[in-house]
Structure 1
Amino acid sequence: NFPNSIFELQNLTSLRLSSTDLSGRLDFHQFAKFKNLKYLDLSQNSLLSINFDSTADYFLPPNLKYLNLSSCNINSFPKFLAPLEDLVALDLSHNSICGSIPQWFHEKLLHSWNNISYINLSFNKLQGDLPIPPNGIQYFLVSNNELTGNIPSAICNASSLNILNLAHNNLTGQILQCLATFPSLLALDLQMNNLYGNILWNFSKGNALETIKLNSNQLDGPLPRSLAHCTNLEVLDLADNNIEDTFPHWLESLQELQVLSLRSNKFHGVITCFGAKHPFPRLRIFDVSNNNFSGPLPASYIKNFRGMVSVNDNQTGLKYMGNQDFYNDSVVVVMKSPYMKLDRILTIFTTIDLSNNMFEGELPKVIGQLHSLKGLNLSHNAITGTIPRSFGNLRNLEWLDLSWNRLKGEIPVALINLNFLAVLNLSQNRLEGIIPTGGQFNTFGNDSYGGNPMLCGFPLSKSCNKDEDWPPHSTYLHEESGFGWKAVAVGYACGLVFGMLLGYNVFMTGKPQWLARLVEGVLN
């Protein structure tokens, strides 16, 4: 239980009890006893029941500057915040606060809390208009609520922002262009709203942006070339919009870019390298699926994906992208078939998704050099040729989807070396021969190979040892090579008729003179 004896320590200036599994009932008005308290952190105590008595006339310590009540089972907006005058950081995230944000809170933001630098109201059930962040604030996070309306133009005054996260709300209207000019903005996250219009922003040179997430809105038009000014950019997610443009090859100069997702838009044309010496050197997640790209697979880019080549076996512990204290980078990927959101992106996570386009030509052998690759999806294209044996070098691969193409030839035996392969889909192609056995291949079912009538062996019911098991298509191929059963039958019949005629001639006329002369000539 919460130790009530702690209220006897009335000279406390800092009390941090985060993530201590405290339980029981806590009367919050007792914190008024701490006249000198500046820092209070009770976050991550989901078993603790905090009683906020709205009828009680009490005030928190006047010097309180840092208040963290994240994940404390709060279901109403705490009124005791109103008298505070010098608040610097407030965290009410991951609670169940519902309803509109009270008007007094809006007034505090605009007129009283001049020194506040951090506000986190994320993961609640807040409704109504978006609160306006005050001038001088650095971190403003109100994601995963039910806020509506436009992004107010007054937000342009908060030019000192480092992180602006308005994701997963119901905001509408166009995105303000001033957001592209904030000099110290590191992360701009507006994903999963109803924002619309063109992204005709003029990103200023020398900006600090590391993350731009505009996915799952209704944005359209082409991309602004000023995105190339974001030289520190690590994550660019524009998926699930209506953007219509060719591939933004002018982004290839961004040396820090690690995640590029253009999934489910209206991009079109051929993806080709336009002269950068080392295009996309750190790229680890490349997703252009569900567009209208055509031409050959972008081998000129793939061979330069140095961020997918090396495997750091010396790394200890898990490392994630983003500022771990204030913001985590996230991305949605097709991972082993369904869409899956990675709330945090491991720095060792690498995947390529070029599915559902109109790519053609053969599979580049250079893909086999991406040793750290964990996922490869090239399905639903018009890819021809065979599966390169070099794919057997992808020792970290966990899922491989080459379905719905025009691949032919045998499945390379080298693929049994993929010890981490959990999902394999080679269905709806023109593959033939014996399915390799051993390793992970012993775990895949019929669905991995369906629609390839010339494949045989486990797990298919068709054996490779019986001629009658071969489908008509394989018979046709044998005929093309000149050794089909029809050709043999015709030759046999012709030989039989010729032999009978020759025998009949010998029997009726005796020894034919022409045959005798032929034999004598051979003997002489």
Structure 2
Amino acid sequence: MGWVRLSYFLIFQCLFLHFPFYNCLLCNSHDKSALLQFKNSFLSNFSSHVVPSEDDFCSLYASNIKSWNNLTDCCGWDGVTCDIRSGYVVGLNFSCSNLRGELLGPNSSIFSLRHLQQLTLAFNDFSGSSIHSTIGDLANLTHLTLFNFGMTGDVPTTISHLSKLEYLLISNIDWLLNDPIKSYSRMRLDDYTWNRLIHNTTNLRDICLYGMDMSFIRESSLSLLTNLSSSLVSLLLLDNKIQGKLPANILKLPNLQEIDLSWNQNLRGELPNSNWTTPLRFLSLSRTAFSGYISDSIGQLKSLSSLELSDCNFDGFIPPSLFNLTQLSLLDLARNNKLQGNFPNSIFQLQNLTILSLSSTNLNGVVDFHQFSKLKTLSSLDLSYNSLLSLKFENNFDCILSNLQYLSLSSSNLSSFPKFLAPLQNLQVLDLSHNRISGSIPKWLHENLLHSWKNISSIDLSFNKLQGDLPIPPNGIGFFSVSNNQLSGDISSALCNASTLSILNLAHNNLTGLIPQCLATFPSLWALDLQDNNLYGNIPDNFSKGNAFKTLKLNGNHLKGPLPRSLAHCTNLEVLDLGNNNIEDTFPYWLEILTTLQVLSLRSNKFHGVITSFGTRFPFPVLKIFDISNNYFIGPLPASYIHNFQGMMNAIDNQNGLKYLGNNYSYIDSIMIVMKGHDIELERILTIFTSIDLSNNMFEGEVPKVIGELHSLKGLNLSHNRITVLNLSENQFEGVIPTGRQFNTFGNDSYVGNPMLCGFPLSKSCNKDKERPPCSTLDKEESGFGWKVIVVGYACGMIFGIILGCNVFFAGKLQWLARLVEVVLNV
């Protein structure tokens, strides 16, 4: 089960359990007036935000406050609940009401509803709004749900005034729609507010906080949760940047039924050795730093139905008692856990299992796949990346897994397609990548794609040895990858039926023919990778406005030009790689308006002419990799662009861990670059990697000083151009000019105005420096920099590269040159 799917499950479960279903008549006139005032303060237009899986929730709980009017009793209004006796409004549910504007401003009439007990604001658009401190005035609140778009700022300390609170859910929906690895706006809950909240709300049963910043909360503050030992039932703190070590007693609280601490990657802890909280039904510690071994005492959790320990640091053997937990429906021990031992055949005793994930667990042995037929309710199975595990498939066995929807056998040493797949009707996700499956794709799989697998959303057959024609994915599919095989033939126009695709990866095959024009019109397609095939003809010229493209990789084919101007419609584009083709055009200056473009590679084509800017105020503002090498560009180096490469001036990643372009789950961007004369493929592109390659063109003139402003530049290649001069005159260099054939080609004019320089070609000799070695170094404190090099070019007409010398004594004024050399040497 993916984290998004699980998150929806938990959130909806929380929401479903806490909505009232009763109403009454004769509401209080003061409360009615306050509600009408609240309605008039909002623009109840439909929000542009759409949550992909909210339909089931909103179809049940959507509130239409536009229907409120002064002629009807407010206790009968949509989303309003009143007390039967007094007529006071005690419950408000504004879920899916399309509210926009300020969340709860200081003058909101909601705060005058002093008898309010339940307040739910879910699936609305409060972009840029924060929770106001007057929330503390609702002293009778027992249930508070704030789950909306765009909420920011700090959780106010006054929330601790809600001493009667039993249920608390706060989250920004933007968190749910984003990859947790990526950044998004988080609300912050600080240590003081947390302490006051836990200290005052002694009746809290359910704490549900998702996607917040709780990094300032100390370990000692987390231990305060033990004060809620008699009340706490659910503790759901998913992806909150919690750090430190979780006190062991938290997992022993006597009434806890649900614990989710997943996606807090710096949260440490260990599982109890005894005295578990026996009512526990749900436990997730995925993507945390929990470690140690799984104690045999886990068998005490007789009520446990869901156990997720993936992406942790557990080691040792899987305890046999785990397989006595007959209520388990979800078991996930996957992924770089250091578990060991034989595959536990006793797992087939868990008759209630619907989700089983044991990928990358280092288990060994032979598994008779027919055994999985015993798990009648199994819907998701992941055994991928277990190199020591051998799956035994009989040729004609009757393996019935009629409920199977998700199957991943990636890197499982498969040499053929498992035949038990043929009769499956409900399959949604199939991953057989990184195996040794060879030959043509069987007819039954083609038939299933065309007719049977009507619910299929993802197919990955990449990194095998498949031959023959390209299989055609069906309409309704989102992900399709057959990259790194030996498929041949044209891309059939039948592919145009799969207009729902988000990711299409056909790279590294032997495909020929034209690129179907329809691919440029798919509304959801954000990654199209056709690199390293034998495709020819023009690039499609019908990229539609408002398209979703983020990655477009057509490099390594035989495509010709010119480039279609409709590429400028790809306003979300991050990676554009058209290298190693036969495209003939001038520089596509009209792409400079793409404000999200980070990688642009036009290398090894037939681009020509002078590079001039379109005149955009900030062209290519976030570009980090710029490769136009091996073309026919002339004129000066494109200083006007380099001057605006903001992404190379301060490419600092403030997040923890390495970050890469692409989606870490479904598609990873890669790029081919030249380092020291060798082609190197970066299989992942670090978000902080920056490079400029202008080599093998016909540029001329000086190296622009603005290059020195690119503080974060990691790679720079200007070789094989017609750059003739790098003028170092009128500075404060001192010492001996390095000798060598490159330096010897510069005339006296290149060094004028540096009175402390000496040596050839200057007439001033360096007799006083005879004892100084030719490549001496100075302390960093003297020069202000850790380098002793100078960057020059050939005067004879062809520069072989950026020539690095030594023995230059720098006085501190030529900042641009210092930065240039620093980034070239990566010092």
TM-score range, shorter chain: 0.7 to 0.9
CA contact (8 A) 2:724 2:795 kept: no
Amino acid at match of 1:355: S
Question: 1:5, CA displacement in angstroms?
Answer: 1.0
Q: Deviations over 1:404-435 (max 9, x none)?
A: 9x8775799999977599x999786679x994
Cα displacement (A) at 1:386: 1.6
Q: CA contact under 8 A between 2:790 and 2:804: conserved in structure 1?
A: no
The one-letter code matched in structure 2 to 1:49 is S
Indicate the SS of the match to 2:371: helix
- Does the C-alpha gap of structure 1 residues 21 and 418 become closer, same or farther in structure 2, counting only changes over 3 Å? farther
Aligned match of 1:436 in 799, 806, 818? 806
After superposition, residues 164-183 of structure 1 pair within 5 angstroms as 164-183=504-523
- Structure 1 unmatched ranges of 5 or more: 391-402, 440-524
- Residue 32, structure 1, aligned to residue 338, structure 2: no
Q: Percent identity?
A: 66
Q: What does residue 141 of structure 1 align with?
A: 481
For the 8 Å contact 1:363–1:388, the answer to whether it is kept is no
Query: In 2, distance between residues paired with 1:407 and 1:86?
Result: 74
| Structure of higher RCO (CA pairs closer than 8 Å, 6+ residues apart) | 1
- Which of residues 436, 442, 452 is equivalent to 1:112? 452
Q: Which residue is 1:13 aligned to?
A: 354
Contact 2:723 2:794 in 1 (8 A): no
Post-superposition CA distance 1:288-321 (Å, at most 9, x none): 0000000000000000000000142634210000
Report the AA paired with residue 297 of structure 1.
L
Looking at structure 2, the residues matched to 427 and 17 of structure 1 have their Cα atoms a distance apart, in angstroms, of 57
Deviation at 1:341, TM superposition (A): 0.4
**Deviation, structure 1 residue 47:** 1.4
Secondary structure (helix, strand or coil) at the match of 2:508 reads coil
Assess if the C-alpha contact under 8 Å between 1:59 and 1:83 holds in 2.
Answer: no
2:628 — aligned with what?
A: 288
Q: How does 1:404-483 map to 2 (within 5 A)?
A: 409=750, 435-437=805-807
Mapping for residues 373-384 of structure 1, pairs under 5 Å: 373-384=713-724
Cα deviation 1:78-129 (Å, max 9, x = unaligned): 1110011110000000111111000000000000100000000000000000
8 Å CA contact retained: 1:387, 1:407:
no
Query: How has the CA–CA distance of structure 1 residues 376 and 153 changed in structure 2, closer, same or farther, with 3 Å as cutoff?
Result: same
2:558 — aligned with what?
A: 218
Using the alignment, how far apart are the partners of 2:623 and 2:635 within structure 1?
A: 22
Q: Is the 8 Å Cα contact of residues 285 and 351 (structure 1) preserved in structure 2?
A: yes
Deviation at 1:18, TM superposition (A): 1.1
1:245 aligns with 2:585: yes
Match of residue 391, structure 2, among 29, 50, 71: 50
Letter in 2 for 1:51: K
Amino acid at match of 1:190: L
Could you tell me how far apart the structure 2 residues matched to 1:284 and 1:84 are?
46
- Distance in 2 (alpha carbons) for counterparts of 1:97 and 1:90: 14
Equivalents in 2 of 1:313, 1:235: separation in Å?
A: 18
- Write the deviation string for residues 350-383 of structure 1: whole angstroms up to 9, x where unpaired: 0000000000010100000000000000000011
Q: Who is 2:684 aligned against?
A: 344
2:592 aligned partner, one-letter code: E
Opposite residue 85 of structure 1, the aligned amino acid is: Q
Show the counterpart of 1:152: 492
**Partner SS, residue 286 of structure 1:** strand
Question: Which residue matches 2:603?
Answer: 263
Map 1:188-337 onto structure 2 (within 5 A).
188-312=528-652, 314-337=654-677
Displacement of 1:336 in angstroms is 2.9
Cα separation, 2, equivalents of 1:427 and 1:33: 73
Return the letter of the residue paired with 2:346. S
SS in 2 for 1:348: coil
1:59 Cα deviation after fit? 2.1
Letter in structure 1 aligned against 2:367:
L
Q: CA deviation at 1:61?
A: 1.6
Q: Secondary structure at the match of 2:806?
A: coil
- The amino acid of 2:384's aligned partner reads S
**Structure 1 CA distance for aligned equivalents of residues 651 and 449 of structure 2:** 48
**CA separation in 1, counterparts of 2:804 and 2:431?**
60
Change (3 A) 1:418 1:86: farther
- 1:254 deviates by 0.4
Q: Per the alignment, in what secondary structure is the counterpart of residue 127 of structure 1?
A: strand
Q: Distance in 2 between matches of 1:51 and 1:6?
A: 17
Deviation track 1:476-522 (CA, whole Å, cap 9, x = no partner) reads xxxxxxxxxxxxxxxxxxxxxxxxxxxxxxxxxxxxxxxxxxxxxxx
1:72–1:427 CA distance, 2 compared to 1 (3 A): farther
Q: 1:171 to 1:417 in 2, by over 3 A?
A: farther
Say which of 396, 403, 419 aligns to 1:63. 403
Distance 1:313 1:172, change over 3 A: closer
1:384 deviates by 2.0
In the alignment, the residues of structure 1 paired with residue 503 and residue 686 of structure 2 have an alpha-carbon distance, to the nearest angstrom, of 20
Q: Under a length normalisation based on structure 2, what TM-score does the superposition of the two structures give?
A: 0.49
- Measured on the aligned residues, the alpha-carbon RMSD in Å equals 2.8
Cα drift, residue 436 of structure 1: 2.0
Cα deviations by residue, 1:312-337 (Å, 9 ceiling, x for unpaired): 26342100000111000110000232
Cα distance in 2, alignment partners of residues 22 and 418 from structure 1? 52
Give the letter aligned to residue 355 of structure 2: S
Q: Which residue of structure 2 lines up, in the alignment, with residue 97 of structure 1?
A: 437
The 3-state SS of whatever aligns with 2:593 is coil
CA distance in 2, matches of 1:30, 1:168: 37
Aligned residue pairs, count = 423
Q: Distance in 1 between matches of 2:447 and 2:585?
A: 43
DSSP-derived class of the 1:242 partner: coil
Q: 1:407 to 1:244 in 2, by over 3 A?
A: farther
Tell me the distance in 2 between the aligned counterparts of 1:42 and 1:107: 26
Contact kept, 8 Å, 1:161 with 1:182, in 2: the verdict is: yes
Q: Any unmatched runs of 5+ in structure 2?
A: 1-341, 731-741, 758-776, 810-827
